[in-house]
Structure 1
Amino acid sequence: MALLFSHALTEEQKQEAREKWGIGTFLSLPDDLQSRWSQVPPEGAFPREWIQPVIEWLSRETGPGDVVLVQGEFGAVYLVVSWCHREGRIPVYATTARRYESRRQPDGSIKNIHLFKHVNFRRYPRE
């Protein structure tokens, strides 16, 4: 499973990937490409050339039928998922159950807590 996202997989996610998707290896982006993936410039039109090295890496490091976890900046995700569909990769994303708690503190302030729990990996739909 090639990992295009900004944090580490949990043990629960690794277990699901192994058991339900048959994943044997988790392939992280090299540091320079991870930095690109995590910091897509927000100004102006989408910078396709910024993401091109990531797609070139995917082309070299994965093959048809390989699973690619894709989460990040919306334009980058769209571009990579489209590429995966064209090139026979299986693009997936992680779904989560979310719970929100708001707790009043002794000093009168309010502490908001957002809890996220992995549910499963889901294929990106095709058009």
Structure 2
Amino acid sequence: MSVRTMVLLFSHSLMSEQEEEARERWRVGRFAALPAELQERWSQIPPEGPFPADWLDPIWNWIEQETVPGDLVLVHGEPGAILLAVAWCRRHGRIPLYATTRREYTSVPRPDGGVENRHVFRHVQFREYPSLPDDAGIFPSD
């Protein structure tokens, strides 16, 4: 059984539970984080004007060099970038995933009479992004 690469297309680190699931359930043998300059690009998409789709081209090029069809891409980020990343993955045979979580909420009374609300997020699983009716047509023909 072959092992896969999982590209980490997001702005934080994997939790130990996430890494364990990736290795056991998804057969991940290698995690590939974006190089610093591409991480900065993913994290700082210009917010003004129409979405700058070509802004992400260096990221697609890097993913294509680091992975093969059937590898995984964990995608979290700016909504427009997520949409394009999922479409790019589908078109190029990579599997786009996201992490599901369960939120645990507690309300703790404070000595001063206030209330402190705490939210703890727990990893549940990685889930494949659902297919869109028409992922084709977003990227020009290769």
Shorter chain as denominator, the TM-score bin is over 0.9
Structure 2 residue 16 is the aligned partner of structure 1 residue 11: yes
Q: Which stretch has the larger CA shift, 110-119 or 25-34?
A: 110-119
| Structure 2 stretches lacking a partner, 5+ long | 1-5, 133-142
Structure 2 residue aligned with 1:106: 111
Q: Which amino acid aligns with 2:19?
A: K
* TM-fit CA distance, 1:104: 2.6
* TM-fit CA distance, 1:6: 1.1
Q: State the distance in 1 between where 2:57 and 2:79 align.
A: 15
Structure 2 residue aligned with 1:43: 48
Structure 2 residue 79 is the aligned partner of structure 1 residue 74: yes
Q: CA RMSD in A?
A: 1.1
SS at structure 2 position matched to 1:88: coil
Question: Which of 56, 59, 62 is equivalent to 1:57?
Answer: 62
| TM-score, normalised relative to structure 1 | 0.94
| Count of residue pairs the alignment pairs up | 127
Q: State the distance in 1 between where 2:104 and 2:125 align.
A: 16
| TM-score, normalised relative to structure 2 | 0.85
Greater percentage in helix: 1
Q: Which stretch has the larger CA shift, 89-98 or 42-51?
A: 42-51
Structure 2 residue 94 is the aligned partner of structure 1 residue 89: yes
| Structure 1 stretches lacking a partner, 5+ long | none
Q: Which stretch has the larger CA shift, 38-47 or 117-126?
A: 38-47
Q: Percent identity?
A: 57
Structure 1 residue aligned with 2:31: 26
* TM-fit CA distance, 1:49: 2.2
Runs of 4+ in 1 over 4 A off after TM superposition: none
